Amino acid sequence: MAVVALGALATGLATGWLLAQAAQVGPNRALFWPGVAGILALLTIALLIFHRFVRAFVWDVRRLVDAGRMMLTVHPEHRVQPGGHPDVQELAALLNQFAERFEELQKERAEAIRQARADVEQERAMLATLLAELTEGVLVCNLDGQILLYNRSARRLLDGSPNGAAQPFVGLGRSVFGIIDRNAIVHALEQVHYLHQRHNPEERTMMTSFITAAANGRLLRTRLAPFMGPDGNLRGYILALQDVSEGIERSLRRDALLQTLTERQRASLGAIRAAIEAMASFPDMSPAQRHRFQQVILEEAQMLSEQIDEMMRAHASDLRAQWMLEEIAAPDLLWSMQRRLSDRLGIEVNPGTVDDILRLKVDNYTLVQGISHLAHTLVQEFGVRTLTLSLVSVEHFAAIDIEWPCSGVNRERWQRWEESTSVTNRQDSVITLREVAERHGGEVWFQMRPSGERAYFRLLLPRATEPAPTAAPSSTPFQAPAVESRPEYYDFDLFHQPGQHPELDQRPLRSLVYTVLDVETTGLTPGLDEIVSIGALRIVNGRLLRQEIFEQLVDPRRPIPAAATAIHGITDAMVKGQPTIDVVLPRLHQFVEDTVLVGHNLAFDLRMFKEKEAESGVCFVNPVLDTLLLSAVIHPEEERHGIEDIAGRMGVQVLGRHTALGDAILTGEIFLRMIPLLEERGIYTLQQARAAAEQTYFARLRY
């Protein structure tokens, strides 16, 4: 454009000068105009040559520089397309040869690093696996309270909130103080610090325990253990969490029950005692008076009996001793029973039908003991040598069937076994087989097969409840691509993070925590159109955390146009019954708290949010980086800065387009590849990135 403008200016000046000269020529006018035409032709030819020179040796060279920077930093597979002047083509071919050699070296280096880190990765995978399988919640935090590690159990315990209210999320880099009472943690840390200062090696490893309420209302028994750095100084702490809400509530109900029972019985016992004392003090009282006192004793005794029966029916589970039940897979439980019966009794145990995906919550030891006692009775009294064990799902229950050839067992004998067969549990208390079933919340009964040739007893137990999902369900058809490693539930590099409230503008781009977000709408006019879907995920320490996502369909309270559905695939049926925007935006506001927002053409998304400020009661004031603007900073010579165009230039695979979460993931991957390119241009901090973005043409777009 500059060359064209320069040519037009030069041509205009030359033409004006020639016209001025023409006015002064006079008699030689006939010779003058052919000369003018020749001069203009020469000038035009000169401008064309100059333009070709600039295009070949300025624009094309600039293109080669950008391509070389791309291959060097984020996209080694990128190659320069040959074109332009032969010298430039030769330079492009040479650059491609360098790129091929560089890519080979990169692959060799990556392979060497992979082999060197194989052992470390294996240990890390083992740690992640062990933590994931723990039933206790585990959090690891630094001294600033930032979460460095968590497992699934911790997320299950701490996510969610009573009455559906918004509450802090569990995630890497987030503050634990928004989830667990800060004062309780600080008090425990003070105790740990005191023990640490005493330099007693034994006490330095002591755990401090306390019970506190989480933000979601659960009561947690929390054990806090410190961990030290290589220099012996306190670096952070580990929190082991156990939900004791049900146990404490049960204890409170039991205490209230005992208090109520005591108050009710005190009056009845007082009346009975008074009647007995009166009859003892006056042995010569008339028969009618004695009968009245006896009637009082009888009525009060009956009332006491009814009260006790009523409370036992209503509060039997609160009065019963609670067992520690552990979740176990059906094949594993069946294996335990089969091994016990085969080893201890020497009988043949045949596996029957087994539901491989079924899981139960049982006291494995006591349950196997009870079944072993039953099998022992069958062997001793009837000489049974073969049993068949089955474990299947029956509606909401799990059914354990022990079957044997029929040999004279009738219902009367079976009922006697139920009440007399004793089992010693882990606490060395003796209980019956029926009590084993009842304390698991189940039932047990004897039954004959219709043929009459085989008998079996069935132990019906509740199935283990499935854990509640940690993220709101979505009908969006996008699924995140599979990753090779386990979910990113840990990031130990956060030990080196600065304080919780640094000056963001001066922070390096690589050190910031980001939330990448995208929205899908009914159209492109803020104020008239509505949001139908929001997707977001976090970037911590240069890693896209695909497990810490926000994905929610939104009821727009209006029909979705067919043109919009054709783009994002969201229909009226999919958003029916979903929360409205005034409910969703406060939850999103908490999800993005203390992070930098990243998006593609994010000005549109934020304008949609701004239209809902009054309705939702939240305002998004986070710092913002837009990949549309940053692309114009990195590649000013490129004309196309659509998200797919940028992805193609940077070697990012495009998946899940036109879903909110899919576009957010794609934008996050692009942004991570932009950071090295920005650094190549001397842009290292948030302030520098925002200042550069503001200078681009796209920054002038308004919605």
Tens-digit pLDDT profile for residues 247-267: 666 666 766 777 777 777 777
Question: What pLDDT sits at residue 157?
Answer: 87
Residue 604 above 80 pLDDT? yes
Flag whether 332 is in a domain.
Answer: yes
On whether residue 483 sits in a domain, the answer given is no
Domain-terminating residue out of 112, 141, 163: 112
Given a cut of 50, whether residue 470 has pLDDT beyond it is no
Residue 320's identity, in one-letter code, is: R
Burial of 402-415, coded b for 16+ CB within 10 Å and e otherwise, reads bbbeeeebeeeebe
CATH number at residue 172: 3.30.450.20
Catalytic, out of 85, 187, 376, 658? 658
Backbone angles phi, psi at 126, to 5 degrees: -65, -45
Is pTM beyond 0.85? Reply is no
Mean pLDDT of the chain: 76
Same-domain check for residues 599 and 612: yes
Range with top average pLDDT, 203-212, 354-363, 501-510 = 354-363
Q: How far apart are CA 485 and CA 122, in angstroms?
A: 10
Is 272 found in the same domain as 226? no
Picking from 331, 322, 327, the residue whose alpha carbon sits closest to that of residue 400 is: 331
Whether residue 196 is found in the same domain as residue 255: no
Please state the three-class secondary structure of 599-616 as a single string: ECCHHHHHHHHHCCHHHH
Task: Tell me, yes or no, if 635 is annotated catalytic.
Answer: no
Task: Output 569 or 448, whichever has higher pLDDT.
Answer: 569
Same domain, 525 and 667: yes
Buried b (16+ CB within 10 A) or exposed e, 244-274: beeeeebeeeeeeeeeeeeeebeebeebbee
Q: Are residues 256 and 224 in the same domain?
A: no
Total domain count, the chain: 5
CATH number, domain containing residue 273: 1.10.287
Residue 270's pLDDT is 81
Of the candidates 319, 352, 370, which is a domain's last residue?
Answer: 319
The mean pLDDT value for 369-374 works out to 82
Alpha helical stretches, state H, 359-429 = 364-382, 411-420
Structure confidence at residue 54 as a pLDDT band (50, 70, 90): low
Do 192 and 336 belong to one domain?
no
Write out the residue range of the structural domain in which residue 42 sits.
2-112
User: Is the same domain home to 535 and 652?
Assistant: yes
User: Tokens representing 522?
Assistant: 């009914």
Last residue of a domain, one of 198, 213, 243: 243
104 and 132 co-located in one domain: no
Whether residue 455 is predicted with pLDDT greater than 70 in this model: the reply is yes
Asked whether the CA dihedral 349, 350, 352, 356 is positive or negative, the reply is positive
pLDDT, tens digit, 9 for 90 and up, residues 122-150: 666 667 667 766 778 899 998 888 888 88
Per-residue pLDDT tens digits for 22-48: 555 555 555 555 655 666 666 667 666
Confidence of residue 55 (pLDDT cuts 50, 70, 90): low
| 485 falls within a domain | no
Question: Does residue 453 belong to any structural domain of this protein?
Answer: yes
